[in-house]
């Protein structure tokens, strides 16, 4: 009887919220009435922001930066070639191209265009967005090309021949879905997609099938099927010289998964903790990242560690585990990559990058690679046929520089640097700490003029994310430099909980019932900026996107006294319905389930859409989103704008028609979006 009463309570609560929400019609993305509403709001916002005296200059400079031929062509290695996707003023939707490794390392690489997305879009009358390519090991003469209609996560996958530079007639073709495919061999794929039997409640695949060339996709052999309420099921392969590993991941939630391998057609489950991450296989060693402490085989491994085991031993259920990395209190593993013989580990030490190379010879031998510092190291591409690899180094005031190195020798050389688009020598970077409400020390970076006066009068932009174990790291932004720092602004990056700056524990400290800690951290940083007289509430703006959009939405509804400007981009805001919109159900491991009364109890305390009130002194928020965002539903931003407008608040809203969760697909769209954002910030904080 008690269970029945609880279910009835949940149903009645859901009905009550649905009946009381007069803006539900805005969740119908393509509805004519909703699109007319979007068009009216876009016009109102553009009429104000594009007429501002700084808008045109910011837009033109942004476009110059995005279209600059001095940008670093991001490398991906397939066999003997470097592949790169490139957009500029002549190639608005972009070209996929390649060159030899030797040519790439020269001062003037000679590029061969493989696929022109502008031409393809014109022929198909579809605004295609390139979403990546997966090559057939080891000749890499065939690829699986992923294309999105307008930039969403859902993609069409088509087989492509790089020799003829054309899609293969009657080749592999997978209709639009949030799925993926991997090569087993030239005639066989492992496919995770919507096969017509439905997807999970999160909108992701729940089946993995083996598809043979010459057969229909619907006739592919089912090898695994998950549950409808799983987050999703994905299959993928790891090809090597000796064998092609075939793996399947069944994600029950965003942070828990079961791993399986296919061996001679037989499905074998690996005996591992649900919250472990299988990060790859190197020289037949399985690489595992621990999200919690684990005691196994009379050994204790700490949360955040990386351990390894031999593949065949793990398959038999009798593995010996070998410790690779055990991070300290203020360090974490930021990235892993492998070459032919080496495993590269990118470490964060108090939010500063370090790089190590490991080699297996019965135990793991460690070598530190003395990369530039202090700053952010990111692994770019590695060569499966040698120990060569690419990595980037950057920080707030040093543009990204690409290096090419030998992991075995621990040596590297500079390949190319971004130009300096603004006079970085005028500025300084400081790292501070403040104390959050529960006593936790929260670090943050401040970038500002060397002669900055602590008078509380500096226009300041505070950015953070605070979720999904994503670390926010020092990085160079030419657009922020030219449109904000050069105009007299100060930029702040906060390393609040929920992120991955200090490993899984930093993330898990802000999960579910503890979510308010994330927002307390953000308020604490804002308050500390005011206490240090770096800025004042009338000069403080905040910016966040996606989960960061939720962050700033909570910030201005909880502490409107602290903020003068808010940029709320592609946000989650209606936390009562987020799990029913697009991929929202997959994030319940992060936020909780609003349909469970005990969990809605804590979610309801911060959900911006439910907590916005009349008669408050809110800042004039600028909301942005994309019609084609199929990850975070545009209804979040739409409904918040409609609700606040009807309450009498002045706000700004811009919805880009395409772009997906990135809210932009071309350089012109990116230039416009950030011109609008920085024009708004200048208008609110500098004029």
Q: What is the mean pLDDT of the chain?
A: 96
- Euclidean distance between CA atoms 84 and 113, whole angstroms: 10
Indicate whether 4 pLDDT > 80.
no
Classified as helix, coil or strand, 648 is: coil
- Euclidean distance between CA atoms 38 and 45, whole angstroms: 11
Compute, in degrees rounded to 10, the torsion defined by CA atoms 338, 339, 345, 351: -100
Average pLDDT over residues 3-20: 45
Strand 490-494 vs strand 460-463: parallel, antiparallel, or unpaired?
parallel
DSSP 425: G
- Euclidean distance between CA atoms 498 and 37, whole angstroms: 35
pLDDT class of 317 with cuts at 50, 70, 90: very high
Range with lowest mean pLDDT among 181-185, 227-231, 658-662: 658-662
pLDDT at 9: 40
pLDDT 10s digits, 267-303: 999 999 999 999 999 999 999 999 999 999 999 999 9
- Residues, the chain, total? 687
Block residue for tokens 């657009």: 479
Annotated active-site residue 523? The verdict is: no
Look up residue 420 and give its two tokens: 């300096």
Indicate whether 509 pLDDT > 80.
yes
- Euclidean distance between CA atoms 426 and 128, whole angstroms: 41
pLDDT at 83: 98
Compute, in degrees rounded to 10, the torsion defined by CA atoms 50, 56, 59, 64: 160
pTM equals: 0.95
pLDDT class of 467 with cuts at 50, 70, 90: very high
Indicate whether 113 pLDDT > 60.
yes
Residue burial 15-44, b: 16+ Cβ < 10 Å; e: rest: eebeeebebeebbebeeeebeebbeebeee
CA 335 to chain centre: 14
Average pLDDT over residues 298-318: 97
- Among the listed residues 305, 331, 337, 546, the single catalytic one is 546
- Euclidean distance between CA atoms 576 and 554, whole angstroms: 14
- Among the listed residues 91, 507, 636, 661, the single catalytic one is 661
pLDDT at 357: 98
Strand 401-406 vs strand 411-417: parallel, antiparallel, or unpaired?
antiparallel
* Percent of the residues in the chain that have a pLDDT greater than 90, as a whole number: 95
Indicate whether 10 pLDDT > 90.
no
pLDDT 10s digits, 20-75: 899 999 999 999 999 999 999 999 999 999 999 999 999 999 999 999 999 999 99
Average pLDDT over residues 646-669: 94
pLDDT class of 15 with cuts at 50, 70, 90: very low
Cα dist. 245→95, 259, 490 in Å?
31, 13, 49
Annotated active-site residue 382? The verdict is: no
Range with lowest mean pLDDT among 15-19, 91-95, 568-572: 15-19
pLDDT at 3: 39
pLDDT at 213: 98
- Euclidean distance between CA atoms 194 and 217, whole angstroms: 11
Average pLDDT over residues 539-558: 98
Indicate whether 145 pLDDT > 70.
yes
Indicate whether 13 pLDDT > 70.
no
Q: Which residues pair with 269 in a beta bridge?
A: 260
pLDDT class of 366 with cuts at 50, 70, 90: very high
Indicate whether 393 pLDDT > 50.
yes
Which of 578, 634, 583, 652 has its CA nearest to residue 608?
A: 578
């Amino acid at each position: 009887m008690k269970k029945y009463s609880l279910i009835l309570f949940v149903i009645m609560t859901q009905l009550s919220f649905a009946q009381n929400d007069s803006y539900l019609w805005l969740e119908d993305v393509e509805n004519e009435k909703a699109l007319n509403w979007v068009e009216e709001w876009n016009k109102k916002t553009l009429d104000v922001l594009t007429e501002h005296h700084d808008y045109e200059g910011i837009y033109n400079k942004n476009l110059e930066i995005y279209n600059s031929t001095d940008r670093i062509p991001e490398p991906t290695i397939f066999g003997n070639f470097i592949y790169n996707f490139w957009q500029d003023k002549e190639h608005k939707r972009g070209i996929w191209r390649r060159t030899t490794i030797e040519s790439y390392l020269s001062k003037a690489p000679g590029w061969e265009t493989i696929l022109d997305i502008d031409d393809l879009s014109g022929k198909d009358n579809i605004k295609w967005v390139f979403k990546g390519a997966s090559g057939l090991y080891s000749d890499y003469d065939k690829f699986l090309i992923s294309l999105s209609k307008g930039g969403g996560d859902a993609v069409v996958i088509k087989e492509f021949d790089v020799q003829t530079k054309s899609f293969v007639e009657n080749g592999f073709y997978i209709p639009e879905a949030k799925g993926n495919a991997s090569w087993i061999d030239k005639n066989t794929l492992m496919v995770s997609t919507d096969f017509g039997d439905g997807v999970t409640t999160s909108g992701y695949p729940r089946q993995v099938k083996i598809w043979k060339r010459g057969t229909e996709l619907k006739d592919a052999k089912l090898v695994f099927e998950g549950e409808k309420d799983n987050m999703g099921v994905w299959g993928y392969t790891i090809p090597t010289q000796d064998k092609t590993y075939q793996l399947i991941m069944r994600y029950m939630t965003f942070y828990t998964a079961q791993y399986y391998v296919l061996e001679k057609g037989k499905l074998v489950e690996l005996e591992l903790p649900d919250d472990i991450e299988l990060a790859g296989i190197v020289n037949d060693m399985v690489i595992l990242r621990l999200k919690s402490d684990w005691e196994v085989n009379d050994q204790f491994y700490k949360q955040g560690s990386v351990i390894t085991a031999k593949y065949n031993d793990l398959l038999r259920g009798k593995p010996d585990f070998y410790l690779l990395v055990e991070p300290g209190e203020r360090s974490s593993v930021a990235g892993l990559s492998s070459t032919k013989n080496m495993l590269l580990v990118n470490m964060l030490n108090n939010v500063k990058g370090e790089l190590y190379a490991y080699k297996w010879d019965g135990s793991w031998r460690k070598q530190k690679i003395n990369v530039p510092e202090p700053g952010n190291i990111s692994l770019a591409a590695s060569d499966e046929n040698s120990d060569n690899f690419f990595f980037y180094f950057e920080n707030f005031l040093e543009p990204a520089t690409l290096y090419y190195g030998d992991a075995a020798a621990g040596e590297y050389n500079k390949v190319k640097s971004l130009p300096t688009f603004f006079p970085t020598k005028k500025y300084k970077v400081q790292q501070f700490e403040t104390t959050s409400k529960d006593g936790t020390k929260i670090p943050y970076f401040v970038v500002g003029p060397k002669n900055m006066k602590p008078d509380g009068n500096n226009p300041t932009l505070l950015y953070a994310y605070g979720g999904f174990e994503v670390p926010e790291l020092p990085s160079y932004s030419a657009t922020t430099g030219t449109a904000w720092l050069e105009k007299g602004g100060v930029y702040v990056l906060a390393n609040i909980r929920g992120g991955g700056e200090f490993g899984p524990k930093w993330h898990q400290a802000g999960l579910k019932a503890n979510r308010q800690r994330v927002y307390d951290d953000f308020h604490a940083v804002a308050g500390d900026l005011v206490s240090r007289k770096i800025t004042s509430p009338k000069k403080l703006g905040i910016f966040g996107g996606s989960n960061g959009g939720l962050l700033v939405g909570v910030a201005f509804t909880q502490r409107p006294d602290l903020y003068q400007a808010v940029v709320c981009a592609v946000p989650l805001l209606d936390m009562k319905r987020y799990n029913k919109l697009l991929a929202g159900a997959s994030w319940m491991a992060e936020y909780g389930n609003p349909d469970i009364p005990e969990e809605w109890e804590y979610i309801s305390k911060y959900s911006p859409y439910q907590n916005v009130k009349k008669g408050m002194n809110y800042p004039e928020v600028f909301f942005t989103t994309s019609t084609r965002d199929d990850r975070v539903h545009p209804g979040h931003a739409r409904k918040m704008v409609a609700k606040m407008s009807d309450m009498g608040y002045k706000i700004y809203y811009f919805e880009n028609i395409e772009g997906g969760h990135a809210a932009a697909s071309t350089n012109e769209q990116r230039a416009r979006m950030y011109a609008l954002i920085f024009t708004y910030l200048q208008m609110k904080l500098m004029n």
